[in-house]
Structure 1
Amino acid sequence: MPETPTEALFKTMRSYAAEHHVPIMEEQGIGELLELLQQQNPHRLLELGTAIGYSALRIAQALPDVRIDTIERDVERYGKALGFIQQSAMQDRVQVICADALELDIAELTPSYDAVFIDAAKGQYERFFNKYESLLAKGGIIYCDNMSMHGMVDQPIEEVPRRKRTMIRNIRAFREKMDGHPGFDCELLPVGDGLLVCRKK
């Protein structure tokens, strides 16, 4: 059975990511994320960290009614994401914003999202969460990828490469904070590279 144009596009994107060392979600992780999103069925989703647009397009394909705003600060990756999205059948439902998510004025965004997917600078998750959780509708869900960082988060800190220790400490602190957050029910799922799922009470 011949592959569809969408499947061919995703294959091209995976090849580009591998060749140019662009981190995109592992297949198991994105498969689990898509299942969770299909159960939730959000209509408006905000993604922090577009990279080349792979996860945004996978989400748009899996959820035909969703509209996605996705933010990318790297100008080269932003341009590549635009190119890939314009080749897709989902381009009218995915808006890419070229900005640093920590500096963007949130008044420029939709005032309410059903879901937020955080997959940007790993050491800044707490700052992303604090800035954007006000845009999440009650009962909405924030999904945070890379909560294991290839197992490093659960290693003794002296075994973690020195240049990554600050990031790992920040992820640990964020996980601990979310474990007892009064406004969210959170669950850390051992899928992909660790997916934290936080539902707003």
Structure 2
Amino acid sequence: MIKEETYISRLNPVNAIDDLIEVAKTHEVPIMDKISVEFVKQLIRIHQAHNILEIGTAIGYSALHFASVNDNVHVTTIERNEMMYQFALQHIDDYKKQHQIRPIFKDALEALNDVNDKEYDILFIDAAKAQSLKFFELYSPFVRQGGLIITDNILYHDFVGNIEIVRSRNVKQMVRKIEKYNAWLSENKDYDTNFIDIGDGMSISVKK
């Protein structure tokens, strides 16, 4: 029997960018699953988003997918790991998206002055999970009213909400921070937030 996720993935459009999935596997780099990235791309279309700010570039897979929606989408993406940053630069060049993607090599906690030159339609948070709350607080002022703040991996391998199965102290600390972030989001009256069971979990917050 074909797994449901595999079947659904096959129904989605084939994109040359998906060749990077094998690169990610080879170098053990976590990237968005196919269904999740297509879901965000549909949100970009629905909201007619033009400016996207991404926290956590990795090899450039998601930024390239976002930019592929149409030529009017511009992605500013921040990465602190030099090897990942170099991978991303190469892939942005390979897919000829230099005019749409602005990569920034810096710790996201220190990159405010590099990205504060525009208002963003979407903020996509997919970096150090323990810092999601800080990233949200730092960069949400740059998101327009009615814009989206999307946070990926809010379930953290399904450990969130099941902390009793976690044996590692460090992982438990991580899970508690993510649970605190999720609770903070659900109670934040400045945003309408939904939590979606897709991929490794995703939250979508609409700025009021």
Alignment of 1:174 with 2:181, yes or no, is yes
Are residue 10 (structure 1) and residue 15 (structure 2) matched? no
Contact 1:186-1:199 at 8 Å conserved across structures: yes
CA RMSD of aligned residues (A): 1.6
Alpha-carbon distance in structure 2 between the residues aligned to 1:16 and 1:52: 9
Partner Cα separation in structure 2 for residue 185 and residue 177 of structure 1: 12
Deviation at 1:158, TM superposition (A): 5.4
Q: Pick 1 or 2: higher relative contact order, CA cutoff 8 A, min separation 6.
A: 1
TM-score, normalised relative to structure 1 = 0.91
Q: Percent identity, please.
A: 33
Whole-angstrom CA distance in 1 between matches of 2:191 and 2:15: 36
Count matched residues: 195
Aligned pair partner of 1:152 in 159, 168, 177: 159
Matches within 5 A, 1:1-201: 7-11=15-19, 13-106=20-113, 108-157=115-164, 159-201=166-208
User: Quick one: distance in 2 between partners of 1:143 and 1:120?
Assistant: 12
5+ long unaligned stretches in structure 2: 1-13
| Structure 2 Cα separation of the partners of residues 136 and 20 of structure 1 | 33
Deviates more, 1:35-44 or 1:76-85: 35-44
Q: Distance in 2 between matches of 1:9 and 1:58?
A: 7
Q: Distance in 2 between matches of 1:105 and 1:60?
A: 22
Task: List gaps (5 residues or longer) in structure 1.
Answer: 1-5
CA deviations 1:1-52 (Å, max 9, x no partner) are xxxxx944531x1111101101110112112221222211211110000001
Distance 2:125 2:89 in 1: 19
**Normalising by structure 2, what TM-score?**
0.88
Partner of 2:10: none
